[in-house]
Amino acid sequence: MPGFELFGPEERKEINDVMDSGILMRYGFDAPRKGIWKAKELEQAISARLDCKYTQLVSSGTAALTTAFAALGIGAGDEVIMPVFTFVASFESILSVGAIPVLVDVDETLTLDPGAVRASITPRTKCIMPVHMCGAMADLDALMTIANEHDLILLEDACQSFGAKYKGKYLGTIGHAGTFSFDFVKTVTCAEGGGIVTNSEDVYTKCDGYSDHGHDHKGVDRGADLHPFIGYNYRISELHAAIGLAQVRKLDRFLAIQKNNHGQLKAILSKIPEVSFREIPDPSGDSCTFLSWFLPTEELTRGLIAELKEQAILAGNFYWFDNLWHYFRKWDHLRQAATLYNLNDGQREALLALKTADYPASDRIMGRCVSTAIALSWTEEQTREKGEKIATAIKKVLAASQVSSR
C-alpha cells in the first residue's frame, strides 16, 4: 500500500490504449473508440475478483458512498449509524443525500462497537454503515444480526480495504452494497476513482443511472437515453479506469507483499510485552495495509510519537487521535455545522448536538493507538530496520516512564 509504489509498464500499456483511441469518456463514441472500454473492463474484473454480480465505477470513494445511499433509498430524515473513527467522506456522503449521521463508539477492532450500534437505534434509523478501517474488517456477524433484527440496510464502507475478506467473503460484498476508493493512496489506485459493488440488480441499475445524470443506458444512442430519475455526474474517466485495470491485476502481488511485511513488523513489536495489537475478527482476511497497535496509556503513546518525530522516523506512523481527517474530536467543521448551503432541520439539529458530544470509550482506545502503514516497496532489510527503530523508540519511552514514576 499504496499501489502507485509499483507502477510499471502495465499501467502505461492500458493508458496508451485509451490515448490511441482518443476517447477519454467512458460512455458513447462507440465507433471511434475502436472497442476500447476500460471502465467496463475494470467493472467486470472487479466483479469477477470479488465474486459479486455487479460493479459500478464512479469518480471517487465519496461519490461511491453518495451514489450507494441514493440507490438504497436513504435520504432526508433517515439516520445512518457510522463510527467516530473513519475518513470525513463517510459523514460528507451521508449529509449529501439529506440524511443524518449518527456517530457511535468504536472498540478495539477500530470499527463499530456492536453494543454501541444497538444502543443508538431509533425509529428513524435506516442504515448501519461499518467502515472497514486500515485494511481490516468490522464484526460483520454481529452487525448483520443487528441489521436483520431491526430490518435495517447494511452498507459497507470498504474504501480502505479492497481485497480484504471476512470468513471467506470479500469485504463490500456481504451487506446490501459496498463501496471502495481507488484514490492515489489506496492499495489499488486509479489515481482518482471509486466503486460500488452489490448482488442486487435493482441497486446496481440505480447506481448506474444516478452516477450519470439519470441516463438509463439502454440504447446505443446516448442522446436518446431516457432518464427515469434525477442523477448527477459521478463518472470515472477511461484514463483513470485504465490505471485501475492494470492495478487490479496486480492485487495478489500487492496482498502477498503486504502480508509478508506486516508479519515481519508485527513479529518485532510483539517482543515488547507492553505492546498489544488491534483486534481483528478474521485475521486471515486482513489485507495488511496497516499494522495497528497500542501502548498501555495515552501519555506513553504521546511520548512515543514525540520520540519518533525527534528521531525523524514518524513518517508512516499515524496517531489518529490527533489526526484532522480521521477522528471525531478534530472534526470541528462537522460539530459547527459549517456548510456552504442550508441543511435540513434534522441535520442541523443533529450536528449542533455534536458540539457537546464526547466519546470517552473511543478516546481510551484511539488515544493509545498507532497505525504503521505497510509499504509495498520495502525490502526485508528495510522492514526489519523500520521495526527495530520503532521498537527501540518504544523501549526508550517505557524506560523513561519507569524512571519518572520512581
How confident is the model over 313-329, as pLDDT tens digits? Answer: 999 999 999 999 999 99
Q: Is the pLDDT of residue 87 over 80?
A: yes
Of the residues 227, 250, 273, the one at which a domain ends: 250
User: How confident is the model over 17-33, as pLDDT tens digits?
Assistant: 999 999 999 999 999 99
Question: Do 138 and 282 lie in a common domain?
Answer: no
Please tell me the total number of residues recorded for the chain in this structure.
Answer: 406
The pLDDT of residue 88 is 98
Same domain, 287 and 180: no
Tell which of 211, 230, 250 closes a domain: 250
Q: Which of 38, 186, 206, 386 is catalytic?
A: 186
What is the average pLDDT across 215-244? 96
**Please, which residues have CB within 8 angstroms of residue 291's CB and are 6 or more apart in sequence?**
262, 265, 266, 269, 277, 371, 372, 374
Tell me which residue range forms the domain holding 325.
Answer: 252-404
Question: Do 244 and 104 fall within a single domain?
Answer: yes
Taking residues 215-231, what's their average pLDDT?
Answer: 94
Mean pLDDT of the chain: 97
Looking up residue 91, the CATH number of its domain turns out to be 3.40.640.10
Residues 262 and 223 in one domain: no
User: Based on the domain organization, do 212 and 344 belong to the same domain?
Assistant: no
Q: Are residues 275 and 243 in the same domain?
A: no
Q: State whether 276 and 220 are in the same domain.
A: no
Cα–Cα distance, 186 to 180 (Å, whole number): 9
Q: Assign 228 to helix, strand or coil.
A: coil
Same domain (yes/no): 224, 286: no
Is residue 287 located within the same domain as residue 210?
no
Q: How far apart are CA 196 and CA 205, in angstroms?
A: 11
What pLDDT is stored for residue 403 in this prediction? 80
CA atoms of 251 and 258, how far apart (whole Å) = 10
pLDDT at 406 over 70: no
pLDDT digits (tens, 9 = 90+) for 102-155: 999 999 999 999 999 999 999 999 999 999 999 999 999 999 999 999 999 999
Alpha carbons within 13 A on the beta-carbon side of 96 = 17
Q: Are residues 227 and 268 in the same domain?
A: no
Q: Is 186 a catalytic residue?
A: yes
Classify residue 111 as left (phi > 0), alpha (psi -120 to 50) or beta. Answer: beta
The domain spanning residue 304 has which CATH number?
3.90.1150.10
Beta bridge partners of 80: 101, 127
pTM of the predicted structure, to 2 decimals = 0.97
Predicted local confidence at residue 84, as pLDDT? 98
Residue 158: name the closest of 201, 105, 194, 127 by CA: 194
pLDDT tens-digit map of 345-381: 999 999 999 999 999 999 999 999 999 999 999 999 9
Domain count, the chain: 2
